[in-house]
Structure 1
Amino acid sequence: MPAVSEPDAPSDAHPVDLRPPIPRLFAFGLQHVLIMYAGCVSVPLIFGAAVGLNASDIGVLISADLLISGAITVVQSIGLWKAVGVRLPVICGGTFTALTPMILIAHEYGMPAVYGSMLLGGVIGIPLAWAFAGLLRYFPPLVTGAVLTVVGLSLIGVAGGLIVGQDTQAADYASPGNIGLAVLVIAIAVTLLCLGRGIWRQLAVLLALMIGTAVALPLGLYNLDAVGDASWFGVPQPFHFGAPQFPLTAVVAMTIVMIVVFAESTASILALSEITGKDIGRGDLARGLTGDAISGIFGAVFNAFIDTVYTNNVGAVATTRVFSRYVTAVSGVILIALGLVPKLGAFVAGLPGPVIGGVGLIMFAVVAIVGINTLRHINLGDPINMTIASATVGVGLLPTFMPGMFAKFPDSTQIVLGSGITLAAITAFTLNLALNHTALGVNARRAMTPDKSDSSRFAAHNMIGEDAHVASKS
């Protein structure tokens, strides 16, 4: 059941538009933040390390990323007039899709070019968002279901990395203690999700995180060293790395990234539409994708990243059945606070990996199951539909199971080839367009269907053969 609305809420209001009481709003909002936080801060951490930034500059990236993520989340949830915001329970955060091209641009042209190209990519993205939304009818359940399945399965490895660690040479890598803590968190979450009632079930993820962290504290797994060094208040300085620059190659690359982000967000938005039962049209999708484009503009100004709709939080909505967009708006406010108060951000960043990973394992798996459930609405008995879904899942999971398989390809192609999610979206969209919206698919299906006259002749031939066989026996 969705959270209870305010007493004065319209009786016919959709669950997406209901507002829970203030205490639940905050608790549900905090739950979303804790689910997405590790992924959100990972983007600036990985980028900063890859381009050789110092700890202070990486701290600037983290604060800016949280601030922009929070602002875009609020806009997407509440809406800004009739121009921006999908008005669904979405959480936005820095996308991994932009990491590889941003790193390449930084090495080739420098940091000012990274944010200059992102700025123009965001500006160009605004009209592209409305054009892209016109393709909504080419994203049927066959496409979104296959892509979501790939998204969920691809992220399982991320959860595993949080549980066992990333450094295989570290002393605590894959330690029984870390794995045991993750198992405990999973057990608590599953117990509450399956046996809990009302508020206990809706806050299952948050309670599992809190209990897991409490257990980790005496074990020395909760690292709070960074909290003491962090400042109490800070506002990211615009263009911290210098005046923006606009190399043509970099601008083209970031524009392509924006289109890829649109494809990712479209799959997540359509999944939320199905999960919540809230129908969306072209205008709703366009306003949601415009939010992605605007994140590129403000992300460039304040040294952050392009945002996308986080799929792990889509899984949280499906799991907890809390559909209110006001909950995610509160999540956005919390993210803004974390961005403006680095000490709070450092406190949350210290949450143990096994705890986040245990919860993430469930959330990511839920996304995959949502994708599989979406495919149930498709006639997979049709060989063409089955082939499209199979090819999408197979191609999309290749980079996950075979990391580095495209390492010898040109750097410019890494924008597409380096992301299994991107490959899945392109594969599903292209095959569905070619085989379900052109004469090619019509002819293919006609060839698969036996001709009635041929069937009649075949049946008659069989009858003659049987009669002759009977006559010979007589």
Structure 2
Amino acid sequence: MTDAQPIAAKSPVDEVPPTGRLLVLGVQHVLVMYAGCVAVPLIVGTALQLDTRTIGLLVNADLVVAGIITLIQTLGIGKILGVRLPVVTGATFTAVTPMILIGQNFGLPGVYGSMIVSGIFGLLIAVPFSKIIRFFPPVVTGSVITIIGLSLISAAAGLIAGNDPTAPDYGNLSGLALAGGIVLVIILITRFVRGFISQIAVLTGLVIGALVAIPMGLTDFSGVAETPWFGVSAPFLFGAPEFPIAGVISMCVVMLVIFAESTADMLAISETTGERLSPGRIARGLAADGFSGVLGGVLNSFPDTIFAQNVGLVQLTGVRSRFVPAVAGAILLLLGLVPKFGEVVASLPGPVVGGAGLIMFATVTAVGIRTLHKVRFEGTNNLMIVAVSIGVGMLPVVAPSFYAKVPGAFEIIVGSSITSCVIVAFLLNLLFNHLSWRRPAADPVDVGSAAAIRHAAEPRSDA
């Protein structure tokens, strides 16, 4: 028919790569975020003095929930849950300190009861929160994404050199050389290789690093044989949930911060993929975060957020299909149900994971800087917003004990670099760019911000 309308081209986000490539790219996403994902149950379990077997059950539950929420975010459940973008979710570090404090005061039933209430709270406020996207222009999201990447670099340093400067093997030259070699391999592949191999540069670096680490005596896979093939923790493993008021309030604050983080990451992945975001789509992504709180509370896990390092991986590889991280979600679910597979990944030496992580976390920082490039600085106070928010956000990173004497409830907020940066950037943007009584006659509003807001809020058929 000559008058037929042309068929719209499929979005790169909805394209499905060939099966082999799909699997390999999915594995790469898992390897990039695995260490960060399992670090949360390890830190919380150790701080609450749980035994090794119990911590292992927390790790399994953590992977199961991360896999389920990643599948929901990438594939979606109708018009209820899921942003349908190439994102991977995992346990958020924002909840670590509050959960430890709640656990020390009220026990794990108090932790998981508070988490369930915060998840319900997140489900209820997802739509209202998505309506205030205009208060998250590039001057805010760029600052937050930058601080996320910068704060994660310290985690990469800890993986490479160790976390105890007094330990005899801290900063061991063999570990530093191995991590540096992995960084060099990834750079060379990215520079001189094209096509599929270039897209899996991070995975290739990890594999080469693991092989090199074997003759160096840095690997220990002895725990793999002792780990069972199948296993998952029962719901409410630690007893019926309890709901202490202080714990509930703390975790609800955490959920608000998770929403701010996820909103920034969704906007970043939207910029990377060219996929427009409606408020309804953002609300579905946030609702999935809220659901992770409920599901995590039932299955003895942790609230999830979109992982910035995987956003950086999408930027680095240029692979924008949401089905790639969907495969990663299925792998995470499998790892959670088959602990032996997870033990293999967990046995990778710290310098190997840290070397690859250094590039990924720095890439997140670069994405934030690129977002800030869209901000109008001339004739505005946006430079002050960026400077103060990043400065305040970096304090807990460069001086971890900076807020040691701050009251516990307040420390939950200011002790997190991401939380403090979000709050400061958000409030300063309101002060300088939204309070008309402070605005000079010349329009100081960031034109890049305005364009981003119109772009993000443009209605779509799936809104």
- TM-score under structure 1 normalisation? 0.91
> 1:272-291 CA distances to partner (integer Å, 9 max, x unpaired)?
00011111010111100111
Amino acid at match of 2:216: L
Which residue of structure 2 aligns with residue 459 of structure 1?
none
Task: Give, in angstroms, the shift of residue 173 of structure 1.
Answer: 1.4
Say if 2:202 is the partner of 1:205. Answer: yes
Question: Deviations 1:348-402 (Å, cap 9, x if unpaired)?
Answer: 1001111111111111111111111111111122340111111111111111111
1:445 Cα deviation after fit: 6.0
Q: Secondary structure at the match of 1:397?
A: helix
The one-letter code of the counterpart of 2:179 is A
Amino acid at match of 2:428: L
Q: Aligned letter for 1:330?
A: V
> What one-letter code is carried by the residue in structure 1 that aligns with 2:418?
I
Aligned to 2:248: 251
How far apart, in 1, do the equivalents of 2:401 and 2:379 lie? 34
Query: In structure 2, do the counterparts of structure 1 residues 444 and 299 end up closer, same or farther at CA, with 3 Å as the change threshold?
Result: farther
Aligned residue for 2:381, secondary structure, equals helix
2:322 is equivalent to residue 325 of structure 1: yes
RMSD of the alignment, in Å? 1.3
Matched residue, 2:32: 35
C-alpha separation in 1, matches of 2:409 and 2:170: 34
Pick one of 269, 288, 293 that aligns with 1:291: 288
How big is the shift at 1:147? 1.1
Corresponding residue for 1:428? 425
Matches of residues 28-427 of structure 1 in structure 2 within 5 Å?
Answer: 28-427=25-424
Q: Read off the aligned partner of 2:340 and give its amino acid letter.
A: K
Output the CA distance in 2 between the equivalents of 1:442 and 1:303. 49
SS of corresponding position for 1:110 = helix
Distance 2:165 2:393 in 1: 26
Q: Counterparts of 2:402 and 2:84 in 1: how far apart (Å)?
A: 39
1:444 shift after superposition = 8.2
Q: 430, 435, 439: which one pairs with 2:436? A: 439
Query: How far apart are residue 223 of structure 1 and its match?
Result: 1.6
Letter of the aligned partner of 1:47 in structure 2?
V
C-alpha deviation, 1:167, in angstroms: 2.4
Percent identity over the alignment is 49
For 1:266 and 1:441, the matched residues in 2 are separated by 27
- Write out per-residue CA displacement over residues 412-436 of structure 1, whole angstroms, 9 at most, x where no aligned residue: 1122111111111111111111211
Q: Secondary structure at the match of 1:93?
A: strand
CA distance, structure 2, for counterparts of residue 250 and residue 371 of structure 1: 32
- When structure 1 is superposed on structure 2, of 377-386 and 17-26 the one drifting more is 377-386
Give 1:175's aligned amino acid.
N
d(CA) in 1 for partners of 2:179 and 2:306?
26
Q: Give the partner amino acid of 1:221.
A: L
Deviation per CA, 1:165-185, whole angstroms, max 9, x where unpaired?
A: 112233321111000000110
Amino acid at match of 2:242: Q
In structure 1, give the amino acid aligned to 2:310: N
Among 20, 28, 52, the alignment partner of 1:23 is 20
The gaps in structure 1 that reach 5 residues or longer are 1-9, 448-474
Amino acid at match of 2:322: R
Deviation per CA, 1:200-254, whole angstroms, max 9, x where unpaired? 1101010010000000012121221221221100122001111101111111111
Letter in 1 for 2:231: G
How far apart, in 2, do the equivalents of 1:110 and 1:22 lie?
Answer: 45
* In 1: Cα distance, 2:226 partner to 2:356 partner: 28
Alignment-mate amino acid for residue 111 of structure 2: V
> Residue deviations 1:259-311, cap 9 Å, x none?
11111111111100001111101011110011110000010001000000001
Partner SS, residue 305 of structure 2? strand
Q: For the Cα contact (< 8 Å) 1:15–1:276, is it kept in 2?
A: yes
Number of residue pairs the alignment of both structures matches: 438
Structure 1 counterpart of 2:164, one-letter code: D
TM-score, normalisation: structure 2: 0.93
2:22 aligned counterpart, secondary structure: helix
Identify the residue that residue 451 of structure 1 maps to in structure 2.
Answer: none
Q: Distance in 2 between matches of 1:237 and 1:126?
A: 24
Choose 1 or 2 for highest CA Rg: 1
Counterpart code for 1:217: I
In structure 1, the residue corresponding to 2:90 is in which secondary structure?
strand
Contact 1:193–1:320 (8 Å) recurs in 2: no
Moved more, 39-48 or 380-389: 380-389
Q: Which runs of 4+ in 1 moved over 4 A?
A: 444-447
Alpha-carbon separation, structure 2, partners of 1:214 and 1:13: 40
Distance 1:207 1:372 in 2: 27
For 1:177, give the aligned amino acid: S
For residues 195 and 290 of structure 1, the distance between their equivalents in structure 2, rounded to whole angstroms, comes to: 42
SS at match of 1:24: helix
Distance 1:368 1:388 in 2: 17
In 2, distance between residues paired with 1:138 and 1:99? Answer: 27
CA distance in 2, matches of 1:444, 1:224: 66
Q: Given residue 341 of structure 1, which amino acid in structure 2 is its aligned partner?
A: V
